[in-house]
Structure 1
């Protein structure tokens, strides 16, 4: 296993959970993998595919995603192909022949095509495993539901002995349960990696008008010279106006949205992947097929519709583990528009609840990373130090009694109420529903009448964000006390809440100018000790030349992180070059000579 990891992928050790996941798959057991974007999900099925007999079938929702994965595997000397509508008939005939001869280790295929091929190609070849990538697409509770994914249960019926691996970067508890049911996974082992991406800084700007957004974006990009990023916008027209504004300022930008022809979308994506443009202004249609490891920043021009969408979109930055920045603009206008979309959707209640949680993230005075992690069911017992709230901490007080009153009321109703009813009970409201249900007889009835209702709203939001209770949106949004909440309720741990301050966040022009000067917006990027900066630039030029010769993106030749390591360690033999993290046997043989010659030349100069 370790030999294969080093030879093909260039790594000397596994990331957390990868080894356990691979061993589970090699034992032919069904597996569900939750790992953040950039956490190393792909190796979890690619490596066992190399070690097992037969061909691994990888189900993937987008042609661009398949293309990217296949190019990366081929660049590592692995026999991988994609079967999809972009192939011509000759390509498909050759591909089928190679499959039947057992020459292909990984075959990428769309869910629609898979359903056709279950009665043809798949019947005639030896299959090592099925990997369902972006598995959250199968669940109606997921943020990216695709109906064609729901028919994948056929795999269990037709290939009962073949292990199924479902992989996703974004799935809350309810979505996870749904994935297991929909795919009919047999006693699956569920691996949940930490959702924490400490290399991403998190920042929210509230109440900014268009003028202020423009100024902030230009300052932001100025601090990220020569580093590429994505600006997500709510509407197609906004992507075009923001791109036009950037180009007017001499910034290489392009546009990507569903209203463009597929040729124009492909061109935009290829220009970005191949570093011909610095910025893509895009709707959420962009990104799932992007495995570009050196995206250094993400801006959300508007509020996203859910935490899952937001988490997946910011996850496209810093996939190589290096410091990257994220910035979210949030205004009331966004909220009104998104509420309208959610109300008009087929799943009004769920979508409104998800939007509400996104709003809470944007308005919070609590460490933003803790909120994100709590949403995915992960508790962090300390603040992150790498978000705007941590950098400008609010004033806190011991709010244990307030939290205990609220949790006690939730517990005494059998955890069968939502936030509105909870506040009614705490305030001692005598409305009909409270009396009909007998909640006026509870010990905690009117226990919080000394606190104004809108302050209760704020405290409950803080409690939710601190992970003391969660909202079950598949049970009429009822509140459920978590393990952390139990500890506070029974006096085992204190609860620190933020002092509520009511002034509105709309600084004047003068205040804003002063604030812009004072505020340290961007953390210092990671440095690599004695890195030779001139050498790094030369290495980048050589990488670009090699990539252009093969018509593949530069990061597929070598990642930015690997280039930084080369510029730091400055190897002068092929052997030393091959020992650098991220360089396997295939890349050592293929590129070693040219890189070593360049390093020697630069060091001599």
Structure 2
């Protein structure tokens, strides 16, 4: 009773809370009793309290092993804010100088420090081990413990050495291991590696009922993101990208479209990252665009949306990152953009890795693909991955698949075919192999095992791959089959599956999504939402273009090309700034030719009461790209084009395409110095005169008219660039 009273007194006096969340009280009691304790608790469940409070109540210093410097700083700042002195909590890592490190050690040795955060790399240094031996260690907390496992989404080899160091700190030092994402396989790895098989385990439900999950095809994703964020009216969110370059591009695009955003990735210096984090916490910015480096341990409860511009590499990563939304129990929207090409890129990155690592990575990535393409309740799939059962009727339409359910099909015969084949093959193959047999897909493995000679090979070809993938996915989700993770996803029949083989019954499944058809329908939706082409206005534009062309004695395409006119006839720009955002219209063309078009659009919009779709206009940062700037600078310095191409790692056709794009947007470029070396004056005049007289902007037509035996495609293209630059820019 006294311990319990003491617990609540400390909770209230130090942290200001009057009750514990979930199983916090039982976990804290366990560690105070000296028991090894294993905590599996989703993001936002209050994991840090599980070691912070017992550390404050125990004799000595608790060592908290944490993987990120940003996470340590954030938690130390919070603890110091609660406590009366800065010495109550410290971190020991590579960011400290010698003076700061000496102060940390002095405070700890004097017994002033109750929590000492240490990076796993720092922990392994002998000088730090000797120092920690001299400090009375109350217990060791291993945060983000999934980093121990190769099957975890953030494996770190340094975590494997933790047990060895703890053993040197004294006998029977209790351990509390904590993770927000752990599949049954990862849980086993953590306990085995930390030698805490007898630990008391506390596992909270992974269900976050306030989060809405949605997967969208990756088409016009920036437009969709900007539209979505603007509708949120200043609410805060995080956008995750897989590369630093994409982080920078997306953040810049958001800013030029009026959304306060900052990039965050490991390539930025520590001071910039810390400032960015603080500005997000203080709500100086609405959106952080980040790699996975951002968010671990960041205690911001009111993140209202998490967007994955790129699908993450694992379901653990997806769960942890989406879990940063709605930690206060309020609204949390989680949208991920899926494109099979992105997954192919991730798979290519793994090609150079050791075989075992590649096999593991492939299995983990496959789960992401299955999740994205499936039409089953998202929540059910996430919870199944973490070893938790869930009835989709409890989702309450808080995922896209439950909100817009697919029609079900009778699957008894298909399920039987799958289960019988798994049994026939002695439960030795994964789902991809089963799908390939039934759909008749030939590959090396098929030939090796001579499964192309089985009567089942191609027996379900007419059903199609999507059907078989759907059946396999739902057979696993509904526990007819079990994936043996240790054996790289080999399928085993469950008791339930064996029972079904003996007594089959009618069962209905849903088809996986066909992303090709979704992309098509979504494109139609976007056009219908106010971006539809206005044929009447387009006709007016072409008449105006022809009139101006006659006045200036230049071909119409020099003014604005057809794709630019079409975009103008769907977006209705009514200012020079808006016109500059139309593709193919840069600053130069907008200033030189834009005024009469803008006047025409203003009048047309007013007379026809047009509701302009400005939420769909994404201002581009493409004209600022470093490649284009570099090309312009090199041409100004009269560097030969083939040398420019070589220095930029481009072939000549690609360089010419970039130059065409620059000139078509209204920037004047003088490439005479290069053309004069490859074409004499008469030949230049012949091509120039052709373009002056032509109403068709076509290199192919020019080549046919002037003769392929006399001119190369490259020569025609370069003269077209010269023509547009001199007459149109």
Residue 22 of structure 1: how far off its partner (Å): 2.1
Alpha-carbon contact 2:241-2:308 (below 8 Å) kept: yes
Residue 165 of structure 1: how far off its partner (Å): 1.1
Aligned match of 1:94: 103
Residue 355 of structure 1: how far off its partner (Å): 1.5
Aligned match of 2:525: 511
- Give CA deviations for 1:27-75 in whole Å, capped at 9, x if unaligned: 2121221111111111122222233222211011111101111122222
Aligned match of 1:259: 267
Distance 1:184 1:508, change over 3 A: closer
Equivalent of 1:165 in 176, 181, 184: 176
- Give CA deviations for 1:362-412 in whole Å, capped at 9, x if unaligned: 111111111111111111022412011111111124534533443354355
Alpha-carbon contact 1:487-1:493 (below 8 Å) kept: no
Alpha-carbon contact 1:423-1:453 (below 8 Å) kept: no
Aligned match of 1:570: none
Equivalent of 2:152 in 125, 142, 155: 142
Aligned match of 1:545: none
Distance 1:423 1:244, change over 3 A: closer
Residue 438 of structure 1: how far off its partner (Å): 11
Instruction: Find the aligned partners of 1:278 and 1:184 in 2 and give their Cα distance.
Output: 44
Structure 2 SS opposite 1:128: strand
Instruction: Find the aligned partners of 2:290 and 2:495 in 1 and give their Cα distance.
Output: 40
Residue 18 of structure 1: how far off its partner (Å): 2.2
Residue 134 of structure 1: how far off its partner (Å): 0.7
**Is residue 337 of structure 1 aligned with residue 345 of structure 2?**
yes
Distance 1:234 1:92, change over 3 A: closer
Structure 2 SS opposite 1:119: helix
**Is residue 106 of structure 1 aligned with residue 112 of structure 2?**
no
Distance 1:431 1:89, change over 3 A: closer
Normalised by the size of structure 1, how large is the TM-score?
0.77
Residue 161 of structure 1: how far off its partner (Å): 0.6
Residue 124 of structure 1: how far off its partner (Å): 1.6
Structure 1 SS opposite 2:521: coil
| Larger RCO, structure (CA 8 Å, separation 6 or more) | 1
Equivalent of 2:386 in 376, 381, 397: 376
Which moved further from structure 2: 427-436 or 460-469? 427-436
Aligned match of 1:573: none
Instruction: Find the aligned partners of 1:404 and 1:10 in 2 and give their Cα distance.
Output: 58
Instruction: Find the aligned partners of 1:282 and 1:164 in 2 and give their Cα distance.
Output: 32
Distance 1:432 1:55, change over 3 A: closer
**Is residue 353 of structure 1 aligned with residue 347 of structure 2?**
no
Normalised by the size of structure 2, how large is the TM-score?
0.64
Residue 322 of structure 1: how far off its partner (Å): 1.7
Alpha-carbon contact 1:379-1:467 (below 8 Å) kept: no
Structure 1 SS opposite 2:116: strand
- Give CA deviations for 1:148-188 in whole Å, capped at 9, x if unaligned: 11111214422331111111112222222211222222422
Q: CA RMSD in A?
A: 3.2
Equivalent of 2:475 in 463, 487, 501: 463
Residue 194 of structure 1: how far off its partner (Å): 1.1
Distance 1:435 1:258, change over 3 A: closer
Aligned match of 2:216: 205
Instruction: Find the aligned partners of 1:494 and 1:76 in 2 and give their Cα distance.
Output: 60
Residue 329 of structure 1: how far off its partner (Å): 0.9
Aligned match of 2:374: 364
Residue 225 of structure 1: how far off its partner (Å): 1.8
Alpha-carbon contact 2:469-2:512 (below 8 Å) kept: no
Distance 1:423 1:43, change over 3 A: same
Q: How many pairs align? A: 513
Structure 2 SS opposite 1:285: coil
Instruction: Find the aligned partners of 2:303 and 2:427 in 1 and give their Cα distance.
Output: 43
Instruction: Find the aligned partners of 1:185 and 1:340 in 2 and give their Cα distance.
Output: 37
- Give CA deviations for 1:212-243 in whole Å, capped at 9, x if unaligned: 22221122112222221111122222222211
Aligned match of 1:550: none
Within a 5 Å distance, the mapping from 1:188-227 to structure 2 comes to 188-208=199-219, 212-227=220-235
Equivalent of 1:81 in 90, 107, 115: 90
Alpha-carbon contact 1:230-1:281 (below 8 Å) kept: yes
Alpha-carbon contact 2:310-2:337 (below 8 Å) kept: yes
Distance 1:437 1:511, change over 3 A: closer
Instruction: Find the aligned partners of 1:317 and 1:280 in 2 and give their Cα distance.
Output: 13
Alpha-carbon contact 2:438-2:461 (below 8 Å) kept: no
Instruction: Find the aligned partners of 1:3 and 1:262 in 2 and give their Cα distance.
Output: 38
Distance 1:243 1:355, change over 3 A: same
**Is residue 177 of structure 1 aligned with residue 209 of structure 2?**
no
Structure 2 SS opposite 1:44: helix
Distance 1:484 1:213, change over 3 A: farther
Aligned match of 1:3: 9
Residue 427 of structure 1: how far off its partner (Å): 7.2
Distance 1:479 1:125, change over 3 A: same
Structure 2: tracts of 5 or more residues without a match: 1-6, 532-729
Equivalent of 1:403 in 390, 415, 427: 415
Instruction: Find the aligned partners of 1:4 and 1:490 in 2 and give their Cα distance.
Output: 59
- Considering only CA atoms, is the larger Rg found in Structure 1 or Structure 2? 2
Equivalent of 1:33 in 12, 15, 39: 39
Alpha-carbon contact 2:236-2:305 (below 8 Å) kept: yes
Residue 430 of structure 1: how far off its partner (Å): 12
Distance 1:491 1:10, change over 3 A: farther
Structure 1: tracts of 5 or more residues without a match: 518-605
Distance 1:160 1:363, change over 3 A: same
Aligned match of 2:582: none
Equivalent of 1:68 in 48, 55, 74: 74
Alpha-carbon contact 1:374-1:466 (below 8 Å) kept: no
Distance 1:516 1:166, change over 3 A: farther
Alpha-carbon contact 1:413-1:439 (below 8 Å) kept: no
Instruction: Find the aligned partners of 1:6 and 1:332 in 2 and give their Cα distance.
Output: 51
Structure 2 SS opposite 1:474: helix
Which moved further from structure 2: 249-258 or 96-105? 96-105
Q: Give the number of the structure whose residues are more often helix, by fraction.
A: 2
- Give CA deviations for 1:305-348 in whole Å, capped at 9, x if unaligned: 11111111111222222211111111232122222113333422
Structure 2 SS opposite 1:203: strand
